[in-house]
Amino acid sequence: MDSIVKNSIICMVTVLTVTMFFSCKDNFKEVQKIGLLSDKPITEAENINTKYTDSGRLKSHLISPKMLDFSNRAFSFVEFPQGINFTIYDEKGNKNNVVADFAMIYNDTDLIDLQGNVVVATQSNDTLFTEQLFYDQKREWMFTNKPVRFRRKDAIDLGTGFDANKDFTIANVLEYSGTIYLDE
């Protein structure tokens, strides 16, 4: 009788083990995705001070208190929640400066969204003031549909909406509402 009970127990353990073995799935990839799909950034950086050079020449300089990298999302982006100060240098060493309270760079579209007290100052002292500005990196074109003040050498153009190339050689206030002339 002992051997019958022993065989029955061995048989039940074997059946249970085989059942458990075949019912398990390989969820390793799903477990990996849990970290990637969270609403937390994949990388956080503080006190950013980055200089980009090409062929020994300084092309840009980015300063920001904080950067959050959400490249773990299906539509990936990099966020600068505490603002940016970004300087771009041309071939002659002239610089254009961009300041904003908040910035977001969308990796898939190469679109930059600047928000809050946006100021773009060119090497020729043209200055744009607005609350939001988009910059298309592929086309090297900036635009907004928000109210703007565009300061030129001798005047300030007011309106809603703005369109310009990266060096402001083409720059238009779209819905022009007036000009303030400056005394020299």
- Is 21 contained in some domain? no
Write down the mean pLDDT value for the chain.
Answer: 85
Tally the domains of the chain: 1
- Is 171 contained in some domain? yes
Residue 7: pLDDT band with limits 50, 70, 90: low
Output 182 or 32, whichever has higher pLDDT.
182
Mind giving me the DSSP string for 68-130? EE-TTSSS-EEEETT-EEEEEE-TTS-EEEEEESEEEEETTTTEEEEEEEEEEE-TTS-EEEE
Q: Which DSSP state fits 158?
A: E
pLDDT of residue 183: 78
CA–CA separation, 134 and 53 (whole Å):
24
pLDDT of residue 66: 97
> CA neighbours within 13 Å on the CB side: how many for 37?
6
Phi and psi at residue 73, in whole multiples of 5°? Answer: -95, 160
pLDDT for residue 184 is more than 70: no
- Is 35 contained in some domain? no
- Is 24 contained in some domain? no
CATH number at residue 157: 2.60.450.10
Tell me if residue 24 falls in helix, strand or coil.
coil
pLDDT of residue 91: 83
- Is 136 contained in some domain? yes
Give this prediction's pTM: 0.76
Q: Is 153 in contact with 125 (CB distance < 8 Å)? A: yes
CA–CA separation, 57 and 136 (whole Å):
23
